Amino acid sequence: MDAYTKPTGVEFKTIVVSGQNDVVADKEADVLTLVAGTDISIETNEGTDTITINAIGGGGGFVSSGDPASPDMREWPGSTYDFSSVGDNINTWYEFDLNSIAGVPTAAKAVLLYVNIQDGAVDSGLEFRDSANSNDYNISAITTKVTNDWMSADVTVPITDGKIDIRSTGIVFTDFTRIDLTVKGWWL
């Protein structure tokens, strides 16, 4: 059994946390124990004499994307994606990498989008889902209510590796007149 040797240098007797009772050593060989709470991990490194406290599982809250001067994505007839719901395009999901389009981190769990759509038909819309999903039950959607008028909505979508899927729904006989998509922020 090792004998206790009183330290000869500086040592801490009191640990102070703002708004809490002090933790005070009440004997010479007292031990301080750190306990990880919910969604917290504590790691020690004896080689570097460090203690690291990390948030896990519960996420890091909402992160705003700031104040963009224009939409992160703008689509119109003849551009990159064909969102018409006729022929081969019915139920076609298109994958969007929001990490490369808008800087959404791959660690994000969900994304908040501001979506504007315009079409010459009533009840045409867009559906959104996590790109890791393959079923149609955990989706978000926006639908036009009037022809040739803008429909706008905030849409929350689960996200994996910074990617979501988008497809058209309803009676879009031609491509949408225009789609504007802006990333308002995300949850970590």
Q: What's at 45, amino acid-wise?
A: N
Which among 9, 4, 107 has a CA at the least distance from the CA of 59? 107
- Whether 170 is in a domain gets the answer yes
Let me know whether 99 and 146 are in one domain.
yes
Q: What is the pLDDT along the chain (188 residues), one digit of tens a residue?
A: 566 666 555 566 787 777 788 888 888 777 878 888 877 888 888 788 778 887 776 556 899 998 888 888 877 665 666 565 555 556 678 888 999 888 899 999 999 999 998 887 788 888 899 999 988 888 888 888 888 888 899 999 999 999 999 887 776 555 677 888 899 999 98
Task: Tell me if 135 sits within 8 A of 164, measured CB to CB.
Answer: no
- pTM score, two decimals? 0.64
Let me know whether 23 and 74 are in one domain.
no
Strand-pair partners of 117: 151, 179
Query: What is the CATH number for 164?
Result: 2.60.120
Q: What's at 6, amino acid-wise?
A: K
Q: What's at 34, amino acid-wise?
A: L
User: Which residue range is the domain that position 132 belongs to?
Assistant: 62-187
**Dihedral angle of Cα 64, 69, 73, 78, to the nearest 10 degrees:** 170
- Whether 2 is in a domain gets the answer no
- Cα(11)–Cα(108) distance, rounded to whole angstroms? 41
